[in-house]
Structure 1
Amino acid sequence: MSVKLRLTIMSFLEFAVWGAYLTSMGNYLGSVGLGPKIGLFYAMQGIVSIFMPAIMGIVADRWIPVQRLLGLNHLFAAIFMFATGYYGMTAGDNVDFATIFTLYSFSVAFFMPTIALSNSTAYTILKQNNLDTIKAFPPIRTMGTVGFIVAMLFVNFFGTKDGSFGFNFSSDPTFLSFQSNYYQFLVSGVLGIILFFFSFVLPKCEINKSGEKQTLSDALGFKAFALFKDKKMAIFFIFSMLLGVSLQITNGYANPFISLFKEMPNYSNTWGANNANALISLSQVSETLCILLIPFFLKRFGIKIVMLMAMVGWVLRFGLFGLGDPGSGVWMFILSMIVYGIAFDFFNVSGSLYVDKETDKNIRSSAQGVFMMMTNGFGATIGMLVAQYIVNHFVFSHTDLDQQLEGWRISWFIFAGYALVVTILFAIIFKYKHDPKAIENISH
């Protein structure tokens, strides 16, 4: 088996583990009475992302080869994910929040660092085999998104009916899909165990033997916080956090929102209402395709315009959810999924390139760490906690379905309004002069 093929399988499994539950967990939590707590589960991913990747990075640098640590983290994450699913199975409708949240939190604490560890593993192995990382890595990473999509589709279309397991591709409301129950956690656990064993067939990565050891302070990116003294960089990082607020909202709430339509007679037999995860998977398809567009748009329009396009994408992402439905308005849901690729990719990739261009090479890695901390750490955590308050107030405080639907629409419009305000402020405050040659240099 070639090196590239092994890394491709690793990337596929890495994101399949996540895709098995990330977009459907909110649906399950809502079905067992924990709808008002959905935000906490997604916020935990942001909280552990602030410090766990840095700690595991130091472990990989000093003591355990990165490919081995990747496998071990997946093993522990899978054990706790199995425990989460098993507890859900035994508890039925009487799920205790503290118990399931604790088990889930331990699982994501071990899983979130694996995203960085899998990248480090791929880069290290490619370099050890004298392969060009710029050319070889993107196709490998793209298969990670494919793995995410495949896992999403599996938990959407596989489930139970009349006590037997099988696939269902129709809009049969009596079919109990894995996307609405605890089985999604068990699927994630199985995939994690597979990746643990697969890590043993990956080429061995050497531990860093250099005398210069990275401290925890360095790994957390504290050195790069000096960049906040630069007004332009400070503004950029602040807006990164403000936009990061939007990152996890639809992962947590899109599925429960779309699945609500199953309870309404006018929409109960529509394909979209009964296959929310499959509908949402179009977002990941769009994400895969939009990665290919970034070099053209960056060179043609520059980083500021590309990031503004991402911000407008978030406005449309939320606004179309508020306007659409799985019936005659399903086209709005589909369009919302399509613009997600622009909203997510154009922000993350262009932002990362901007940090790379504007920072000194001695603190470039730390600066990237600050960017990720501000977006996926602080921004996403704050976003989910605030979103939870809004959704609880407008949606879960009601029992009437029509009131809940109206509450969902109000919530989506609030999120869209927030994204619009951030877009306008960024356009006014952030100053940047586009230089096509500079973009061309950093993209090579």
Structure 2
Amino acid sequence: MVTTIRLKLSLMMFLEFFIWGAWFVTLGTYLAQRYSATGGQMGMAYETQSIGAILAPFVIGLIADRYFSAQKILGCLHLLGAVLLALVVRSGDFSAFYPLILLYMLLYMPTLALVNAIAFRQLQQQPEKFAQIRVFGTVGWIVAGLLIGYFGWESEQQLHYTFMLAAIASALLGLLSFFLPDTPPANRAGSTSLREMLGLDALTLLKDRSYLTFFLTSVLICIPLAFYYQNTNLFLNDIGISGAAAKMSMGQMSEIVFMLLLPFFFKRFGIKWTLLIGILAWVLRYMLFAYGNSGELVWMLFVGILLHGICYDFFFVTGQIYTEQKAGDKHKAAAQGLITLATYGLGMLLGFRLAGWVTDSYTVAGSYQWYQIWMLPAAFAGIVLLVFAVLFKERAKPELE
């Protein structure tokens, strides 16, 4: 790959995930500080991500794949997103904030697929090099968290600056997009059926009992996952952990490390045990959060954060690879879209709604009962672990270089 193209793609990934990490991690804390939001309102705000993920295939399948080059759509979406993020800062109450963040996420979630499409188009002969480009997205998320910690916006209750930071980055990515390599529509002729464009043909994978078990598990495990995104930053700030967003970036750092270890676990243990280890990490993480504190047991909180690498890589990345193996050549892209819709869409939509209800149920006189809030997703993940262990029968050990 030409060096200049590689640099552009790497910067694209960096900004794409920097934008998301700049405000999404601290959103729960922002809502509590700025609007005294209830758990239900926090759930509504976070589930805009899921609504965007559910509708994203329509944007990609009906527009990006047929009419306009991916980089041009990416640029327009991020420029519009920059305006919306700037307007969020001026919201006086939650009723004004919510429609803006909902509209923003409807624009942002399709860009996750667009940046992948642009990168993969340049890597047609070397798709294995994608990880070397995608890792800059993780770096972008880490840098966003470190900047929030450096400026002390959480402790000083100035988290509105996170949206301004994200707006600036979104504007930069919007402008950069028009200088990215051309990625014309994949189906300009328009011969593909609506069913194929929306990825519905991939539903045939669910006829396989093992894959159906994995698919349903993916939906269910995203319910406790939503508790992490919605409550962790609020939890750490509430119990007095300084620079919470920066400390949470350790989770993305561990993600890079465990990504490198993933091939070893594949070869040694196979698909089933790798997935089981990933689910078990969710159980352990929430139990550590339930029993940890900001004093002598603070190490439990840091271990729980560091488990993010196992939680994400061993289940979600492994699941993407498993899906790639199970899908035929014709349905590979549609199958990835299907599992994304199931996890970021349906699973986390249910999870954010439940997390909001649980948080409200265990808030007494304005005080969060964190032990109960964390033990519930721990128990739920434990049940998912047992069901998956019994029902999933796949024994194949995939090759992974």
TM-score (norm 2): 0.94
Q: How much does 1:215 deviate? A: 4.0
The corresponding residue for 1:42 is: 46
Matches within 5 A, 1:102-141: 102-127=99-124, 132-135=126-129, 137-141=130-134
* DSSP 3-state at the match of 1:341: helix
| Contact kept? 2:213, 2:392, Cα under 8 Å | yes
Question: Residues of 1 paired with 2:182 and 2:310: CA distance?
Answer: 37
Match of 2:6 in 1: 4
Q: Secondary structure at the match of 1:255?
A: helix
- Structure 1 CA distance, aligned partners of 2:117 and 2:300? 38
Map 1:372-411 to 2 at 5 A: 372-395=340-363, 397-399=364-366, 401=367, 404=368, 407-411=369-373
Say whether 1:424 aligns with 2:386: yes
Q: Which moved more, 1:15-24 or 1:74-83?
A: 74-83
- The Cα offsets for residues 392-421 of structure 1, whole Å up to 9 and x where unpaired, read as 1002x432x4xx2xx111110111011011
- Distance in 2, Cα, partners of 1:214 & 1:318: 45
- CA positional deviation for 1:284: 0.9
Distance, in Å, in 2 between the alignment partners of 1:125 and 1:337 is 34
Counterpart in the other structure of 1:199: 177
Q: Give the partner amino acid of 2:259.
A: I
Specify the code of the residue in structure 2 equivalent to 1:220: L
Structure 1 or 2, whichever has the larger Rg, is 1
| SS of alignment partner, residue 25 of structure 2 | coil
Structure 2 match to 1:246: 224
Distance in 1, matches of 2:45 and 2:197, equals 25
**Cα deviation 1:202-244 (Å, max 9, x = unaligned):** 1222333564644443233221223333322222211111112
SS in 2 for 1:432: coil
- Measure how far apart 1:257 and its partner are: 0.8
Change (3 A) 1:374 1:209: closer
Give the Cα separation in 2 of the matches to 1:345 and 1:61.
29
Identical amino acids, percent of aligned pairs = 32
- 1:36-185 aligned within 5 A: 36=39, 37-87=41-91, 91=92, 95=93, 97-127=94-124, 132-135=126-129, 137-159=130-152, 176=156, 178=158, 181-185=159-163
Contact kept, 8 Å, 1:158 with 1:177, in 2: the verdict is no
Which residue is 2:329 aligned to?
Answer: 361
CA distance in 1 between partners of 2:10 and 2:360 (Å): 41
Report the Cα distance in structure 2 between the residues aligned to 1:71 and 1:224, rounded to whole angstroms.
Answer: 29
Taking structure 1 as reference, are residues 39 and 281 closer, same or farther at Cα in structure 2, changes over 3 Å only?
A: same
Measured after TM superposition, the shift of residue 277 of structure 1 is 0.7
Q: 1:133 to 1:224 in 2, by over 3 A?
A: closer
* Deviating more after overlay: 293-302 vs 241-250: 241-250
Deviations 1:124-158 (A, max 9, x none): 1333xxx52212x2111101100011011112221
Task: Quote the offset at 1:57 in angstroms.
Answer: 4.0
Residues 1:433 and 2:400 are matched in the alignment: no
Q: Aligned partners of 2:285, 2:310: CA distance in 1, in Å?
A: 10
Offset, 1:176: 1.4
Task: Look up the SS of the partner of 2:239 in the other structure.
Answer: helix
Is 1:414 equivalent to 2:369 in the alignment? Answer: no
Letter of the 2:302 partner, please give it.
I
Work out whether residues 156 and 177 of structure 1, in 8 Å CA contact, stay in contact via their aligned partners in 2: no
What letter corresponds to residue 8 of structure 2 in structure 1? R
Deviation at 1:120, TM superposition (A): 0.5
RMSD: 1.8
Structure 2: runs of 5 or more not aligned: none
Q: How much has 1:388 moved relative to structure 2?
A: 0.9
Q: Distance in 2 between matches of 1:356 and 1:138?
A: 15
Letter in 2 for 1:207: P
2:126 and 2:252 mapped to 1: Cα distance?
Answer: 26
Paired amino acid for 1:259? N
Q: Which runs of 5+ in 1 are unaligned?
A: 161-172, 263-272
Partner of 2:247: 279
Q: Which amino acid aligns with 1:22?
A: F
Q: Does 1:314 align with 2:290?
A: no
For 1:321 and 1:12, locate their aligned partners in 2 and report how far apart those are by CA, in whole Å: 30
Q: Greater shift after overlay, 242-251 or 42-51?
A: 242-251
Shift of 1:63: 1.4
Aligned to 2:21, which of 19, 22, 29?
Answer: 19
Deviation at 1:383, TM superposition (A): 0.8
Amino acid at match of 1:143: F
Structure 1 residue 358: Cα displacement? 1.8
Q: CA deviation at 1:197?
A: 0.9
Corresponding letter in the other structure for 1:27: T
Partner Cα separation in structure 2 for residue 293 and residue 324 of structure 1: 27
**Count of residue correspondences:** 397
Code of the residue aligned with 1:202 in structure 2: it is L
Q: Given residue 116 of structure 1, which amino acid in structure 2 is its aligned partner?
A: A
> Aligned partners of 1:332 and 1:159: how far apart in 2?
23
Contact (CA 8 Å) 2:56, 2:109: kept in 1 or not? yes
Deviation at 1:357, TM superposition (A): 1.5
**Closer/same/farther in 2, CA of residues 313 and 209 from structure 1, 3 Å limit:** closer
CA contact (8 A) 1:259 1:274 kept: yes
**CA-CA distance at 1:58 after TM superposition:** 3.1
1:6, distance to aligned residue in structure 2 (A): 0.9
Is the 1:58–1:219 contact (alpha carbons within 8 Å) kept by the matching residues of 2?
yes
